[in-house]
Structure formats: structure tokens, C-alpha cells
């Protein structure tokens, strides 16, 4: 489980973990169950998330966006 705190507009990225086989199918990734995201707390503009993901997945904080990244 990963605990992560995010402010409004910040992102979390979920991708294959380093060393994971990129040929894995979604069915193989989730054979033990779904990805679980729990909102643990919210306070003063921050949300704390608890993320439980299968081992082949990496959960990480996304870098801050710059104005040139805006859609």
C-alpha cells in the first residue's frame, strides 16, 4: 500500500513497474483483484490517498505541470 497526499490539480500516475513484462494483459494484472484507491483523509485542500495495486504496477507522484502542459 502506498499513502500519497495530493493537492487539487496534482496527479498520480499508474504504470508498469520497472522490470514488469510489458506483454502482460489486463486480466493477468488484476487476477488477484482490482486496483484499490481509498480516500484516507481530506483537510485544508489536501487529499490523502491509500493506493493498493498489483506488484507489476508502479504508483508514483506526477511531476508538477507547467503552463505549457495545459490542454
**Which tens digits make up the pLDDT trace of 4-57?**
899 888 899 999 899 999 898 888 888 888 889 999 999 988 999 999 988 889
Residue 71 has pLDDT above 60, yes or no: no
Kindly state the helix (H) or strand (E) to which residue 57 belongs, with its residue range: strand 57-61
Cell numbers standing for residue 27: 486480466
Tell me which residue range forms the domain holding 14.
Answer: 2-62
Whichever domain contains 29, its CATH number is: 2.60.40.4380
Residue 51 has phi, psi (to 5 degrees) of -120, 125
Read off the DSSP letter of residue 22: T
Kindly state the helix (H) or strand (E) to which residue 38 belongs, with its residue range: strand 36-43
pLDDT of residue 68: 59
**68 in a structural domain:** no
**25 in a structural domain:** yes
pLDDT of residue 50: 94
**9 in a structural domain:** yes
The domain tally of the chain equals 1
pLDDT of residue 41: 93
Give which of 41, 63, 47 is closest to 6, Cα–Cα.
47
**6 in a structural domain:** yes
Amino acid at each position: 500500500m502506498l499513502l500519497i497526499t495530493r493537492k487539487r490539480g496534482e496527479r498520480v500516475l499508474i504504470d508498469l513497474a520497472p522490470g514488469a513484462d510489458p506483454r502482460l494483459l489486463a486480466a493477468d494484472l488484476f487476477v488477484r483483484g482490482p486496483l484499490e484507491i481509498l480516500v484516507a483523509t481530506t483537510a485544508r485542500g489536501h487529499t490523502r490517498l491509500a493506493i493498493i495495486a498489483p506488484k507489476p504496477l508502479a504508483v508514483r507522484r506526477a511531476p508538477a505541470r507547467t503552463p505549457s502542459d495545459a490542454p
